[in-house]
């Protein structure tokens, strides 16, 4: 019994640590609902007197947040789908096709995944201007499709490398060609891994900052991250506005987290240790 009692301090310490992790979220939520007058009078730590929604509304209209959400959804969703398709094609050749020199091809993709974006950003900026794609959402979708597919290829190749050969042989004997085998057998069987990749690519792209910051300069094309980051960088916001911005930035992430929590926590381990 004393053993169980000894364990409570550990639990309490962990709970305090966990609380420290989420305090910033709580305090932002508290202050997003305060009026500027209330904020300047009572400071950031008091409970709000009532629900003051004008701060959120003002900020929403000022940055045209609906448009930013649409942009982020479009870019992240497009990247997730295209990058998964590209990863599947690559991994099919490497993992199932076992093409000659696959180790080198895989190394090529892994290396591409590790290159810092800083070493690509100026040429991408320059080339997209030459190609007339600068400041378009399409340019960002193309670039991140390739960057995310590097990781996807790496992960899916090792998963498909262990794909049961008998299934493929059986389909082949039934007269299916490679294309049919890929979409009717390999993809459906690998659905769990593909789901993890979709979620990861979506959230990673949603959170990206450097390349979208460089590529998307007009208000109509900016993502949530870029719009908030640029505003903050310019220090144009007062305290209540900052909180409205922070809360509106936190909310989508929170929604994804609640919806995808299982995929995220399970997938991140699979992805890293594979």
Partner 1 sequence: MTVTVERRVTGKQTHAGHPRRPRDSYALFLLPGVLAFLAVIIVPFLMNTGVSFTDWQGVGSPEWSGLANYRELLDDSEFWASFRHSLFMVVAMAAVPTAVGLVLAAALFDYVGKHFGSKTVAVLRACFYLPQVLPIAVAGIVWSWILAPDSGSLNELLKAIGLSSWQQDWLGDPDIALYSVMGVMVWVQLGFPLVIFMAGLQRVDPQLYEAAELDGAGWWRRFWHITLPQIRPEIYVVLTWCTIAALKVFGAVYVLTKGGPGGATNVPSYFSFTTFFEKTQVGYGAAISTVLTVIILLLSLIGLKLQTRAEEREGS
Total residues at interface with partner 1 (CB under 8 A): 95
86 near partner 1, judged by CB under 8 A: yes
CB-side neighbour CA atoms (13 Å) of 4: 1
The set of residues, in sequence order, having a beta carbon less than 8 Å from that of 205 and lying 6+ positions away, is: 75, 76, 79, 80, 144, 148
**Cα-Cα-Cα-Cα dihedral sign, residues 177, 182, 184, 186:** positive
Q: Which of 79, 84, 140, 147 binds partner 1 (CB under 8 A)?
A: 147
196 near partner 1, judged by CB under 8 A: no
199 near partner 1, judged by CB under 8 A: no
Q: Which of residues 239-268 bind partner 1 (CB under 8 A)?
A: 239, 242-243, 245-246, 249-250, 253-254, 256-257, 261, 264-266, 268
Name the residue among 219, 194, 182, 247 with its Cα closest to residue 52: 247
Q: Which of 37, 61, 98, 183 binds partner 1 (CB under 8 A)?
A: 98
Q: Which of residues 14-73 bind partner 1 (CB under 8 A)?
A: 14-15, 17-19, 21-22, 24-25, 27-28, 39-40, 43-45
Distance from C-alpha of 123 to C-alpha of 127, rounded to nearest angstrom: 6
Q: Which of 73, 134, 178, 185 binds partner 1 (CB under 8 A)?
A: 178
Name the residue among 197, 192, 205, 202 with its Cα closest to residue 268: 197
Tell me whether residue 43 or residue 192 sits nearer to partner 1 (CB atom). Answer: 43
Distance from C-alpha of 230 to C-alpha of 210, rounded to nearest angstrom: 11
Distance from C-alpha of 193 to C-alpha of 152, rounded to nearest angstrom: 10
229 near partner 1, judged by CB under 8 A: yes
Distance from C-alpha of 160 to C-alpha of 80, rounded to nearest angstrom: 19
108 near partner 1, judged by CB under 8 A: yes
CA distances from 128 to 86, 121, 134, 142, 209 (A): 21, 10, 5, 11, 18
Q: Which of 53, 54, 61, 122 binds partner 1 (CB under 8 A)?
A: 122
Q: Which of 35, 67, 117, 158 binds partner 1 (CB under 8 A)?
A: 117
Question: What's the chain's length in residues?
Answer: 274
Q: Which of 81, 121, 171, 189 binds partner 1 (CB under 8 A)?
A: 121
Instruction: Tell me how far, at minimum, the Cβ of 72 lies from partner 1, in Å.
Output: 9
Instruction: Tell me how far, at minimum, the Cβ of 125 lies from partner 1, in Å.
Output: 8
106 near partner 1, judged by CB under 8 A: no
167 near partner 1, judged by CB under 8 A: no
């Amino acid at each position: 019994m004393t053993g169980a009692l000894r364990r409570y301090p550990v639990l309490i310490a962990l709970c305090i640590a966990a609380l420290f992790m989420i305090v910033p979220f709580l305090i932002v939520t508290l202050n997003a609902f305060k009026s500027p007058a209330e904020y300047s009078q009572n400071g950031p730590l008091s409970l709000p007197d009532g629900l003051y929604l004008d701060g959120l509304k003002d900020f929403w209209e000022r940055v045209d947040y609906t448009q930013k959400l649409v942009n982020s959804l479009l870019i992240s969703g497009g990247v997730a789908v295209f990058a998964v398709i590209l990863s599947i094609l690559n991994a099919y050749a490497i993992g199932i096709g076992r093409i000659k020199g696959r180790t080198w091809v895989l190394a090529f993709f892994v290396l591409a995944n590790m290159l810092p974006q800083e070493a690509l950003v100026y040429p991408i900026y320059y080339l997209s201007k030459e190609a007339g794609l600068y400041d378009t959402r399409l340019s960002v979708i193309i670039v991140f499709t390739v960057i995310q597919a590097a990781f996807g290829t790496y992960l899916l190749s090792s998963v498909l490398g262990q794909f049961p050969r008998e299934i493929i042989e059986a389909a082949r004997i039934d007269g299916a060609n490679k294309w049919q085998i890929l979409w009717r057998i390999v993809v459906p069987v690998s659905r769990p891994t593909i789901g993890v990749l979709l979620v990861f690519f979506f959230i990673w792209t949603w959170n990206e900052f450097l390349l979208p910051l460089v590529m998307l300069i007009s208000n109509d094309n900016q993502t949530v991250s870029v719009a908030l980051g640029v505003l903050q960088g310019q220090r144009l916001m007062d305290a209540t506005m900052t909180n409205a911005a922070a809360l509106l930035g936190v909310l989508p992430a929170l929604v994804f987290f609640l919806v995808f929590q299982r995929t995220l926590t399970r997938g991140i381990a699979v992805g890293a240790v594979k």
